[in-house]
Amino acid sequence: MAVIKISPEQITTKKRKGPKGHAVDLGSLQEVRALLGNESRQRDLLIEHLHKIQDHYHHISSKHLVALAHEMNLSTAEVYEVASFYHHFDVVKEGQTPPPSLTVRVCESLACDMAGAHDLLHALESGLGDKVRVQKVPCVGRCQHAPVAVVGQNPIDQATASAVIEAVENNAVKATVTDYIGLERYKAEGGYQTLKGVLEGEISAESIIEKMESSGLRGLGGAGFPAGRKWRIVKGFKGPRLMAVNIDEGEPGTFKDRHYLEKDPHRFLEGMVIAALTVGCDEIYVYLRDEYAGCREILTQEIASLQNNPPSRDHKLPPIHLRRGAGAYICGEESAMVESIEGKRGMPRLRPPFLAEVGLFGRPTLEHNMETCYWVRDIVEKGPEWFASFGRHERKGLRSFSVSGRVNKPGVHLAPAGITVRELIDEYCGGMQEGHEFYGYFPGGASGGILPASMGDIPLDFDTLNQYGCFIGSAAVVIFSNQDSARELALNAMKFFEEESCGQCTPCRVGTAKAATLMQEKNWDASLLEELSSVMVDASICGLGQAAPNPLRCVMKYFPDELK
């Protein structure tokens, strides 16, 4: 083979006419810098800074995206992939028309669907015109007030088209803050004395962990892992350690965390800080779902008040960072939440290692649901026997049931663990609505499966529903009647999972889409759906794909007459 030699004089180089990648628009860069002010440009604040642009301009232009990447010393691709991952960021490319400055979101999940959300959606689409964007969205965490529409950040409960149009015309776009127990009242009623004792060394960490273990309190976000055991495990790993609190609460039918935050935020904050100090966590990160704008105002103010007025003047509290979600159900999964806190796409991590050992920023991390922290103060002060003294049908503890659907008194009902759904309806929910006969229920939100009324005497608690292909999860109980269709509600749930799949693994990404398509057929192909369900359960990376088939499997098993 002949070798061709090329002299240096024969080599020509083409000079680049501009900088590599996207050119930064100086005007956009100045606008981004003005929005960010003196705040840090550290990598994990990317989502927070994207929110600033979205809130101000009601979309994120490609010029602002490039400018933000430049300002944070990130590649444009990194910023784009994060911004485009989350539903609440409207990324507008060059040449595209930005969306209207105001968006009205109409919830179409289970309870709102039963309450007429689609009629409301159609009425608003025809009644608001082109100057307002009307979107159908998944659960916004206000299921007891169905149907719900959100004007900007202002939720309209029991929404009618006229009420929503009136809010739009009056520019009522800000979230309202409910009356709640503030710092001074909380202290006057005995709050923060336990935290003071922990800070000053009067209450030992070991004694608190022992109480938590004896109480039987389990994680109330859905997984149900024993809280005391988790504390001991995380404490056993070498520091520095961190704490991450999950208030994403995106499971359709769930709204208990919002309920408690809007009433008594400091009970949660005190329990959270006690947990962090007991385990030895240096900093705390609170991840709050974006739909809870009112809660965000409450927490922003009350965290600042607490840090400025700690229970013990001689002891500082660990830093508390409030982080804002951006509309991604998958971030309710603990490792996806951690990824989001780090400023990334909310993609679940492969495990092991588990968060207790390698979590947020690579450190051992105590991850908890908000309500789990809410009960810490009572357990430490009243003793584990107090918490364990509640319960029915051989179960122990208390459960906060988010009840929605066809009952007279939907809402958060604090009831004994192990109560049955019939007892819950009759004793706490004022019975079924007039003209509605109890037909079935979701015991644990959209992913918890569906059971018929004939199975309404099963104790509602962790582990009691597993043998029926269901689980209690975060105790989101959705009641439906003989005027509803289990088949249609299961399809509603599957469409939700299809929309919210993060796309990382094929069984979930493709499986939910294929299942939703098959479930829209008049005659379900039961064998094909079961085969598809098995693949999703066995091969999906996280709980979303593993639990998504539960409703469809339950319909085939417990509601066969609807498939004829």
Helices 46-57 and 76-83: crossing angle in degrees, nearest 10, is 70
Per-residue model confidence as pLDDT tens digits over 430-487: 999 999 999 999 999 999 999 999 999 999 999 999 999 999 999 999 999 999 999 9
Cβ proximity of 133 and 88 under 8 Å:
no
Encoded amino acid at 110, one letter = L
Alpha helices in 288-328 (DSSP H): 293-308
**pLDDT-derived band of residue 129, with 50, 70 and 90 as boundaries?**
confident
Asked whether residue 400 carries a pLDDT value surpassing 80, the answer given is: yes
Q: What's the chain's average pLDDT?
A: 95
- How confident is the model at residue 3, as a pLDDT? 56
- How confident is the model at residue 18, as a pLDDT? 40
Cβ proximity of 332 and 249 under 8 Å:
yes
- Report which of 65, 98, 107, 104 is spatially closest to residue 84, judged by C-alpha positions: 65
Three-state DSSP at 490 gives helix
Instruction: Give dist(CA 186, CA 538) in Å, integer.
Output: 48
Token pair for 426: 């009759």
Per-residue model confidence as pLDDT tens digits over 257-274: 999 999 999 999 999 999
Token pair for 466: 């597993």
- Report which of 278, 277, 286 is spatially closest to residue 316, judged by C-alpha positions: 277
